[in-house]
Amino acid sequence: MLLENKVAIVTGGAKGMGRGIALKFAEEGCDVVVNALHIEGAEKVAEEIRALGRRSLAVKADISNSAEVQNMVDETIKKFGKIDILVNNAGGVMGVQGGNIDTATEEDWDKILNVNLKGAFLVCKAVIPHMKKNKYGKIINLSSMGAVNPSVSVLHYHAAKAGVLGLTLNLAFELAPQYISVNAIVPGPIETPFWDALQPPGPERDAFFTAMTKKEIPLGRMGTPEDIAGPALFLASGLSDYVTGQIIYVAGGQPLSSHAATFLSSGERPGG
């Protein structure tokens, strides 16, 4: 039990990578707070965690809203008394259409950065005082391959996820004297509901995934939430006590070398 008697908050924990991480942590003895925008999804995952014999709390909170974030942290402390682990997973493109410099609007930019970068900052700011108090903490931030090796222009999202890497490195330096580790995971192509905002499930998306895996992913397959949960467990556990300020690529071998993007140079996107 690598996380026995630990307490974690997983933002965006109702589906995809967040759900995979939350369940993996629970399997290793962790009590988990599952955050989501919709309480129904969070509660469903919390029930799965309870079925594994661990305690869980489902909390509805918009991580770009500081008051809602503080309420989530207060509820966590009230129920569990501490926060050992934070996984900043919540994010996405939230149905925003268009992502290059010609199509991205100021409104879209603010919306995407608020959730994907400001949100991570706000949750860290609310959680870190409790970690400092206990002189212990593990913070794991989820970035994106598009932040460092984009295959299509999603300007606001990729810029936000690049900012997450900067946030990670600065906090790692700042918090090391308090025995708080801060690391980041850069997922490659992971098959999750994230893709639904770019292209609905169906034969066309399946064909796109097949082309991408053949052309861009050395391991030759799409990743799964479980592929992300394993490295997250390492970073959340005592196995990584001498690891901070690191960026781990969990991407099937990307980026091993430069490549021609699956997306056409004309700017075509899935289904475009």
Cα 129 from chain centroid (whole Å): 21
Asked whether residue 135 is domain-assigned, the answer is yes
Asked whether residue 175 is domain-assigned, the answer is yes
For the chain, the domain total comes to: 1
Radius of gyration, CA atoms only, the chain? 18
Peptide bond into 255 cis (omega under 30): yes
Out of 136, 157, 179, 249, pick the active-site residue.
157
DSSP code, position 205: H
Asked whether residue 198 is domain-assigned, the answer is yes
Tens place of pLDDT for every residue, the chain, 272 residues? 999 999 999 999 999 999 999 999 999 999 999 999 999 999 999 999 999 999 999 999 999 999 999 999 999 999 999 999 999 999 988 777 778 899 989 999 999 999 999 999 999 999 999 999 999 999 999 999 889 987 778 899 999 999 999 999 999 999 999 999 999 999 988 877 666 666 677 787 677 777 777 778 888 888 899 999 999 999 999 999 999 999 999 988 887 654 445 443 334 433 33
Asked whether residue 256 is domain-assigned, the answer is no
pTM across the whole model: 0.89
Asked whether residue 272 is domain-assigned, the answer is no
CATH number at residue 114: 3.40.50.720
Asked whether residue 223 is domain-assigned, the answer is yes
Asked whether residue 264 is domain-assigned, the answer is no
Known catalytic residue at 157: yes
Contact call for residues 146 and 194 (beta carbons, < 8 A)? no
Asked whether residue 142 is domain-assigned, the answer is yes
